[in-house]
Each structure stands twice: as structure tokens, then as C-alpha cells.
Amino acid sequence: MSKRIDVNDLNIYYGTVKAVDQVTMTIEPRSATALIGPSGCGKSTFLRALNRMHEVVPGARIEGSVHLDGVNLYSAGIDPVVVRRTVGMVFQRPNPFPTMSIFDNVAAGLKLNGLRDKKLLAERVETSLRAASLWTEVRDRLHKPGGGLSGGQQQRLCIARAIAVEPEVLLMDEPCSALDPISTLAIEDLIGELKSRYTIVIVTHNMQQAARVSDRTAFFNVSGTGQPGRLVEMGDTRAIFDSPGQKATEDYISGRFG
Ligand code: ADP
């Protein structure tokens, strides 16, 4: 579990429009990397290129490479469905299957992978819910619908669902933006635990959150309307926040934009 990601010369397009320009970075395993920067600088687009979700948009394409422990995810013969299982994703809004039971929400991916043994399924569901810090809250209502949980619980359910299929990497796109402060802290604590086992990449617009949860931070910026986003700098989170190398980074994290 937990693999290193090497991104090389990545250009990302929507049709003829370039959204992300020439990004090269290494994302370390067993740690959390935060992607920060102003709205529209390509953070979500970049994140979705890490598990080949970008290409589901018609006309979307990329140039360059993304290697997961040396394997280019964009090589011919690599199945994007397998990539998305290996590199899981949690979205801004919790998106459990609302009418499906809590149990089945977590078991769905396992069943798709061919796991049929009821005892094994139950074990994996419990392990995943425990790993997502949700087990004690739902153990007595596993067969109730996932949509009946609070927003914060639903987001932890989505994390349990992502973990159940044993990914190497967890991508999180502003996973707390729809949550209240207490649920946000619960997710941040959870990220703190999960990063010892997974490679985590999190997009966040919340500077305190980036500082609290991440080991490394990458600052993206866009130089003007219609311009693609670029990676300005990346480094240890403390260094990026305490002594950024670029003025644009300092302006952004101190709240002075433009
Ligand atoms: P961020 O996550 O940093 O706010 P995005 O990755 O969402 O930035 O967007 C980067 C750029 O790509 C923006 O200019 C945005 O308008 C454009 N973009 C995002 N999604 C699409 C899409 N589905 N089709 C066309 N352009 C898009």
C-alpha cells in the first residue's frame, strides 16, 4: 500500500484550451500533499489527471506522464478503470448511494471486484468503516440507508467506500467544503491517521487545513484570464508557509491576492 507518484511535464487540456501547463512534481508515499492556489488555477483538473478521471470529459486530453511507482498510468494497455480503483477519489460533496444501505455502500466496490464470500465481505466492511472512524457510529444501523447519515458521516462513509477496495492513493477534492467545523475536524483527524498508510493528495482552499493536515504543499497559480495554471513551488508545508520562495506564494497564503 501507498505508492509514490511522479508527474512529468504534464499539460492538461479541455479541447483546445490549456488548463494546466508543464507540471512536474513528485508526490511522496505515506504522506499528505496539499494542492493550494486561487480558484481556477487547475488544482481539481490536475487532481483528476492523477487517476485518469480528466479524460471522461469530452475533448479532454493530457500530454506528459504520471507514474505510480514507475508504471505510467497513461501507457497503452493500462485500463483506466483499474487506475481509478488503485487511485481512489473523495469529492467535495459527499456522494454515497443514498438509498443503498451503509453496509452496501462500502461493499459495492468489493462486490464489483468479485468478492462474494459473506463473512469476508462483512470483515472488509467493518475494517473499512473502522479505518474511516465511522464504525462505532453506524455498527447498529448498517442496513439503514447511507443517505440518512449526517453530512460529515456521509463523507466518512465515502472515505470508507474508497478505502474498501484497498487503493494505493487517495485523492481528495476539497473534502470538507460542504461540512460544518466539527465534521471538518473529524475528517482532518482521519486524514492524519490515513496518511501513515496511503499516499494522500488533497485540494483545499483552506490555508489552515493545508497547514494542519499536509506534509508537503504545492502552490498553483494562474497569471491571468485564459492562462493555464502552473505549479509555482512545492516543498515541506512548514517551509512553504513560513518562508515561501516566491512572492506569489507569500501573497496567496497571507491573503494578499494579485
Ligand atoms: P481549481 O480547482 O484550481 O479551481 P479547475 O481545475 O476547476 O481549477 O479549473 C481550471 C481551469 O479549467 C479553469 O479555467 C476552468 O474554467 C477550466 N475547466 C474546468 N473544468 C472544465 C470543463 N469541464 N470544461 C472546460 N473547462 C473546464
CATH number of residue 199's parent domain? 3.40.50.300
CA of 130 to the centre of ligand 1 (A): 35
Mean pLDDT per 10-residue segment, the chain (258 residues):
92 97 98 97 98 97 97 96 95 95 97 94 97 96 98 96 95 95 93 95 96 98 94 98 97 78
Geometric angle at alpha carbon 5, from 3 and 8, rounded to 5°: 160
* CA quadruple 56, 6, 253, 256: dihedral, nearest 10: -60
Q: Are 234 and 219 in contact (CB under 8 A)?
A: yes
* The pLDDT of residue 257: 57
* The pLDDT of residue 230: 98
* The pLDDT of residue 17: 96
Residue 56 Cβ contacting ligand 1 at under 6 Å: no
Q: Is residue 244 part of a domain?
A: yes
Q: What is the C-alpha end-to-end distance of the chain, expressed in Å? A: 40
* The pLDDT of residue 256: 67
Q: Is residue 144 part of a domain?
A: no
CA of 14 to the centre of ligand 1 (A): 8
Q: Is residue 138 part of a domain?
A: no
Q: Is residue 175 part of a domain?
A: yes
Q: Over the stretch 140-162, which tens digit does the pLDDT of each residue have?
A: 999 999 999 999 999 999 999 99
CA of 229 to the centre of ligand 1 (A): 9
* The pLDDT of residue 258: 40
Collect all residues with Cβ–Cβ distance below 8 Å to 24 and sequence separation of at least 6: 7, 8, 9, 10, 231
Residue 42 Cβ contacting ligand 1 at under 6 Å: yes
State which of 39, 45, 221 you would mutate to test the pocket of ligand 1, scoring each by most atoms of that ligand within 8 A of its C-beta.
45
* The pLDDT of residue 188: 96
User: Radius of gyration over alpha carbons of the chain, in Å?
Assistant: 18
Sign of the torsion formed by the C-alpha atoms of 205, 211, 216 and 218: positive
β-strand 87-90 against 169-173: which pairing, if any?
Answer: parallel
User: For residue 250, how many other CB atoms are within 10 A of its CB?
Assistant: 15
Range of the domain at 204: 5-97+168-253
User: And the C-alpha cell for 49?
Assistant: 489527471
Q: Is residue 134 part of a domain?
A: no
Number of alpha helices (DSSP H) and beta strands (DSSP E) in the chain: 10, 10
Q: Is residue 176 part of a domain?
A: yes
* The pLDDT of residue 1: 64
What is the Cα–Cα distance from 126 to 166, expressed in whole angstroms? 13
Q: Are 61 and 68 in contact (CB under 8 A)?
A: no
Alpha-carbon distances of 249 from 55, 117, 236, rounded to whole Å: 30, 51, 13
* The pLDDT of residue 50: 98
Instruction: Report which protein residue has its CA nearest ligand 1's atom 21.
Output: 14
Q: What is the phi-psi region of residue 96: left when phi exceeds 0, alpha when psi lies from -120 to 50, beta otherwise?
A: beta
CA of 11 to the centre of ligand 1 (A): 13
Q: Is residue 113 part of a domain?
A: no
Instruction: Report which protein residue has its CA nearest ligand 1's atom 24.
Output: 14
Q: Are 63 and 18 in contact (CB under 8 A)?
A: no
Q: Is residue 71 part of a domain?
A: yes
**Averaged pLDDT score across all residues of the chain:** 95
Collect all residues with Cβ–Cβ distance below 8 Å to 45 and sequence separation of at least 6: 12, 14, 19, 20, 54, 229
How many structural domains are present in the chain? 1
